[in-house]
Chains A and B, each alone.
Chain A
Amino acid sequence: MKTYNCEFLCVGGGVGGLMAAIAAGKKGADVIIAEKADTRRSGSGANGNDHFHCYIPECHGTDTERVYREIGSSFDAGPWVDMELTKVWIDRSFEVIQMWEDMGINMRPTGVWKFEGHGMPGQQLYNLKFDGALQKSCLTREAKQQGARILNHIIIHDLLADKDGRLAGAIGVDISEEIPETVMIQCEAVLLATGMVSRMYPSITPAYMFNTPCCPATTGDAQAMAYRFGARLVNMDMLNGHAGPKYFARGGKGTWIGVSTDIRGNTFTPYNSKPSRATGDITADVWPTCYRDRLKKGKGPTFMNCTETSPEDLDYMLHTAMVSEGIDSITDYCEHYGIDLSSDMVEFGTYPIMMGQRGIEIDTHARTSVPGLYAAGNCTGNVNGSLCGAAVFGMTAGEDAADYVKNTKDISRIDPADIQKYEDLYQDLLSRSDGAHWKEAASSLQNIMNEYASADQQSEDMLNAGIEYMRQLKANCYKELGCSNSHELMRSLEVLNMIDLSEPIFLCSRNRKETRGPHVRCDYDFTDITLNGKFQTIYKERNGTVHMDYRYKR
């Protein structure tokens, strides 16, 4: 077993983890980043982003109340966020932009601040068009310059406590070689930032489970670890997903310059009738499930229609904007298969559930309910977790953690006996080289989630059955799963994490006895106004007692 010591461990080397490491490093903290892949090209921001949702005073004016109101009501914020956190994100967004520019990330490809896409009717534009193609390598370089040690190809699997039950480290597996090696990291504070949950529900092409709009390496490891360690989760009953081309799953809808239409080219919302490079197509921002809803009502198919887009804008979209966003596989696909967007409409679909921005509850300093444990990005459940939110709350977490570790020097060593159960689990899995493949378990997980914690309609009977089936699956996995190498062990641990994460989804869904937004109950087909303005939270004590509560949106 390899062991490491540091003050602050960042689990996940995405935008949130790297920003936390940079911020903590600047304040003198000893930081390790543990990343499942390689921080230079990992996660949903691996190859870029091109919308940085932000407030730049020289562009948007000094009326911050207007900015809070407009961004707070936008697609990126959504109804399931705390306004006190949204204000932090807005207030500090320009600081991040200036920092990124200093790191060499091209925030002004045209030389001026330019805003495009995700425009809401009658509002200012807040999505900065930048070139994020090299964002991860720039952030990685900066994290190293600030003294962070980066451990790539390590999956952190669980959090560890000292003898008094306080957060004291984490355990995982080094998968860089064929034979895995257990890794234990002792520290005083931990940031969890591993993104959303891309593979808990079947993909849009169920036979190919890695065909997901955001990076399929994001498997809810942070949320599962937080739940097992007793941290509070929030909004786990509000299932959500993304939209984009069928059957080539890819995020970045805001980069398309076109309009959503039916097969005859007719629009169906009052917003866009002509393509606009400035606002983009806002149909799915206003009505996120429109493609699925229209299909179910017999009004499909629905298309992203770029046939009225100017040749200049089409060229810009395919060869500049999609490259900056890191989704130029769409460009390649169109060119290879002869899709001419000036005459061909691309059918769009609502993708299956991926639980972004549903997860760990944080405060304005990115602290979770567990002392020393922080979270940022799409694994958090009460603030925008995509690019800008991940960056701001990663930075906030790093700053706060650097102060926290200075005042927390009495954490005990981790008891080696606590490590043994993990070593035993890994050895069990590796010893069954002819055991069940992780894909078998993943398939059952996805089927159960899809039918028993459905995005379409739920009931107490179905949820109860799903809870029982998931317990059976978990027991079967611990008895039957087998791995022949590091890669398969990583995939198996991911599935086990997603199985654990199903518990708060099922329990919160069962406990919300009403129909609201994406939560549709056939046995409670009314909206309970006593729950207006409230979020549901859940946490589990180490003894297994689960607590669920509703609290007001802050």
Chain B
Amino acid sequence: MPPIIDVKKCKACGYCAEICPLDVLYLNKQIRKLIVRYPEECWHCKACVKDCPVNAISIRYPLSHMMLHFPKEGLK
């Protein structure tokens, strides 16, 4: 579940955890690691993606949030 942290890029600065509107992210200060603690509470707003200083975060859009779409030309 979203968001996904690229551990190779993440500097564990904790900014994303500070600004997440839903308190989804958590910085474990002891091990200096960013943890996606409450993934089901993610709103997919992308605040963390936009504000990460090292572009270490991406969002995975879950299958539960399927955007229904249908081809205008109809079923083939």
Contacts and interface: CB of A to CB of B under 8 A. Distances in A.
A207 B19 contact: no
Contacts of A210: 22, 40-43
Contacts of B70: 263, 301, 303, 344-345, 347
A37 B23 contact: yes
A217 B21 contact: yes
Interface in B38-62: 38, 40-47, 50-51, 59, 61-62
Contacts of B41: 210, 216
User: What size tier do the contact residues of chain A reach?
Assistant: 35 or more
Contacts of A246: 67-68
B9 to A, nearest CB: 19
A248 B66 CA distance: 6
A382 B32 CA distance: 48
B8 interface: no
A149 interface: no
B51 A41 contact: yes
Interface string A260-283: 000111000000000000000000
Interface in A185-218: 205, 207-208, 210-212, 215-217
B6 interface: no
Given A46-B47, A210-B43, A343-B72, A37 B19 contact: yes
Contact of A207 (B45, B64, B69): B64
Majority secondary structure of chain B interface residues (helix, strand, loop or mixed): loop
Interface in A267-324: 301, 303, 305, 307
A351 to B, nearest CB: 13
Interface in A492-533: none
Contacts of A330: 67
B49 to A, nearest CB: 9
Interface stretch (A87-95, A160-168, A222-230, A334-342): A334-342
A487 B38 contact: yes
B45 A47 contact: yes
Nearest to A264: B74
Contacts of A345: 69-72
Interface in A241-255: 245-249
A152 B62 CA distance: 29
A329 B67 contact: no
A332 interface: yes
Contacts of A301: 68, 70
Contact of B46 (A47, A207, A211, A346): A47
A460 interface: no
Interface of A: 37-38, 40-43, 46-47, 133, 152-153, 175, 205, 207-208, 210-212, 215-217, 245-249, 263-265, 301, 303, 305, 307, 326, 328-330, 332-334, 336-337, 339, 343-347, 487, 490
Interface of B: 18-23, 37-38, 40-47, 50-51, 59, 61-62, 64-74
Given A332-B46, A346-B68, 7 more contacts: A41-B19, A210-B42, A215-B45, A217-B21, A245-B67, A333-B61, A334-B67
CB-CB nearest 10 A-B residue pairs: A347-B68, A41-B47, A248-B67, A41-B19, A344-B69, A37-B21, A38-B19, A307-B72, A329-B44, A248-B65
